[in-house]
Amino acid sequence: MAKRGRVPKKFLEAILLELKNKGILHSKRGKGGGYYLAKSPEKIILGSVIRILEGPLAPLPCISQTAYQRCEECEDENTCSLRMVMKEVREATAKILDGTSLNDKVERARELSLNAMYFI
């Protein structure tokens, strides 16, 4: 996987371990071992995976639902126009990612490869 994805092996191992610790993956040791999904691809939501690996979806800490922090330079959160726009960005991002399963992603990739055009 590391070679195919062009990712350093240690980095990939850290990602896989984090996903295992959060219940997305299981692992098996020994011959024929490795990592495998802990639940069906339909039940693994991309938003959850991204939150595990990257942290909150919010582009600003003052709109995060899981790691809220007031912005130091903000005088009034209720009238901050940047905060209002970024809240819409966060909500739109969450709607897409929380509405997309790992299975949806695989199906989309399959559709794209079936629709690919090959020229000689």
Q: Of 60, 79, 86, whose CA–CA distance to 71 is shortest? A: 60
DSSP label at 45? B
How confident is the model at residue 60, as a pLDDT?
92
Q: How confident is the model at residue 25 (pLDDT cuts 50, 70, 90)?
A: very high
Q: What is the pLDDT of residue 103?
A: 96
56, HSE (Cβ side, Cα atoms, 13 Å)? 16
User: What percentage of residues in the chain have a pLDDT greater than 90?
Assistant: 71
Which pTM does this prediction carry? 0.80
Q: Is the Cβ–Cβ distance between 95 and 89 less than 8 Å?
A: no
Share of the chain above pLDDT 70, in %: 96
Distances (CA, A) of 116 to 4, 64, 105: 21, 39, 17
Domain ranges of the chain: 1-38, 41-120
